[in-house]
Amino acid sequence: MTQDELKALVGQAALAYVVPGSIVGVGTGSTVNCFIDALATMKDQIAGAVSSSIKSTERLKAHGIPVLDSNEVTAIPVYIDGADEIDHHGYMVKGGGAALTREKIVADLAERFICIADESKLVDVMGAFPLPVEVIPMAASQVIRRFASQYGGQASIRAGVTTDNGNVIVDVRGLQISDPLAMENEVNQWPGVVTVGIFGHHKARVCLLGTSQGVRTLNF
């Protein structure tokens, strides 16, 4: 199966985790687009969605799915989103679509994070995918220097990208994220960092992994 077919497969499989009558947390990215398209087939059975990006909001609304502001919602049963990397403990690197901060906000509302991904995203140790960090522009050079001195990472500003919050994305290469929780705690304290794209405190509870043999379910 092609990567697009695997994405469609897990997007469809994620419908099983949608609680009828509830509000659904919806992430960002190409795999999530497949989920949104599948969600449209049961839009009359849900109360609406909370979205993590402008692009996802536009796609949900195009399907006639009501989108609620996160400030109007106190809790949601599930948040369904993809990942750039996920390890065997459910920790993830996210932010390839530059929506990591809003994704973390919606994930924080959710009782469970359901990750949908193709099998290429499952890794033993995260870091091969450049780690995204949302940074207030005036702090970008400081953050880049600090990654070099503290972690030996090679960081650079992602060209031509401004987040939905008006900030830049710094991508960090050359890392081995052996302790995701510790790195998330540390980097989030640096002045100017809005959030780092390590989802340790908001890890996946379930991963629906698209494989050539079908959908593989991982529970964490």
Give the Cα separation of 69 and 40 in Å (integer).
19
Which token pair is 83? Answer: 């990942």
Structural element, H or E, at residue 77: strand 76-81
Give the count of beta carbons closer than 10 Å to the beta carbon of residue 161.
13
Residue 103 bears catalytic tag: yes
The closest of 98, 46, 99 to 76, measured between CA atoms, is 46
Residue type, 64: G
Residue type, 162: T
What angle, rounded to 10 degrees, do the helices at 3-13 and 30-39 form?
40
Give the Cα separation of 82 and 84 in Å (integer).
7
The closest of 44, 28, 37 to 8, measured between CA atoms, is 37
| Beta strands at 193-196 and 131-135: parallel, antiparallel or unpaired | antiparallel
Residue 206 has phi, psi (to 5 degrees) of -140, 140
> Which residues are documented as binding site for substrate?
28-31, 81-84, 94-97, 121
- Catalytic residue (one of 85, 103, 134, 184): 103
Residues catalogued as catalytic: 103
